[in-house]
Amino acid sequence: MNPPARTLAAYLEDYLTLRRALGCKLNRGERDLRQFLDYLDQRQQSTLTAGAAADWVRRARRGSAGPGLAMEAILGFAAFAHAHDPAHEIPSRGLFSRKRTRTVPYLYSPADIAALQNAAGQLQGTLRAATYTTLIALLAVTGLRIGEAIALDDNDIDTAEGMLIVRQDKAQSFRLVPLHATALAAIAGYQHCRDQAFPGRGSPALLVSRAGDRLTYNAIHKTFTRLAAAAGLAPRSRRCRPTIHGLRHSFAVATLAGWYRDGADVPACLPRLSTVLGHSGPASTYWYYSDSRVIPTSVPSRA
């Protein structure tokens, strides 16, 4: 005898458990999905259909600012239910599309990062080329925010422990980010090049400008835009353009992809990634792969 078919309510509990284990809060999504299942019950309908989803969104969200959000919640759940029982339909993504203002992250493959570093190596001036080559690689292998990288001082490199000390606020709270031996060696090589250019300099900054002082965000932004063009990295869409912040996003997504490939317990590992990225918890980290379009296949190991 075949086991009884699972109900949509049972699938919903499994779906919410899975998504929350990955760090997603889904407070509004759960509310919308439970209301949608109540609507299906009223129709005495045990199968999720695209027509019922569209009808519920029209009725329940008429004049509301959130029809796109409601349909987005249904889409995720519908894909989960369909994977377990193909009788459940997945609505078209064109229905009640959510108006997005957030940019789509530009994810860099190892080849993209190598192209950026090669372009940086062609910058005029030995020190400037070394600075941007090091900066790009450091962001790629640590997931630092650009402001955190700019703020690094020499004494934030703990060579004995293989750690980077990232200062997070004026209260001097900090987090530790592990560095591979190759990254430590590359940083030491950069420091030697920098100190030859500016012996006896007064600034404690790790990464310096052509004048020997701390880098600024505006200067980095302008230079990175030129480097991306020189590396042949074109926009993938109007909302997906190569930015320096994409290196942080790429690090997070590639780390998660590597855990999945290795068969790791990703929900259990996620707090580690949250700590490295400086997030308050996994819920903030979940965004780094909830809207990804391309997942790099590996993470470069050198800085």
239 is catalytic: no
How far is the C-alpha of 81 from the C-alpha of 75, rounded, in Å? 10
Burial class for 39, CB neighbours closer than 10 Å (0-12, 13-18, 19+): middle
Residue 36: name the closest of 5, 86, 75 by CA.
Answer: 75
How far is the C-alpha of 240 from the C-alpha of 179, rounded, in Å? 29
Candidates 84, 167, 245, 302; catalytic one: 245
Phi–psi pair at 278, nearest 5 degrees = 80, 30
Phi–psi pair at 263, nearest 5 degrees = 75, 25
How far is the C-alpha of 303 from the C-alpha of 166, rounded, in Å? 16
Place of tokens 């420091």: 191
How far is the C-alpha of 99 from the C-alpha of 59, rounded, in Å? 19
82 is catalytic: no
Candidates 61, 145, 241, 302; catalytic one: 145
Q: What is the CA radius of gyration of the chain?
A: 24
Candidates 106, 279, 286, 289; catalytic one: 279
Candidates 99, 102, 170, 238; catalytic one: 170
Candidates 19, 88, 194, 248; catalytic one: 248
31 is catalytic: no
248 is catalytic: yes
User: Cα separations (Å) of 257 from 20, 112, 252?
Assistant: 18, 17, 9
288 is catalytic: yes
279 is catalytic: yes
Candidates 11, 108, 286, 288; catalytic one: 288
Would you please indicate which residues are annotated as catalytic (active-site) residues?
145, 170, 245, 248, 279, 288
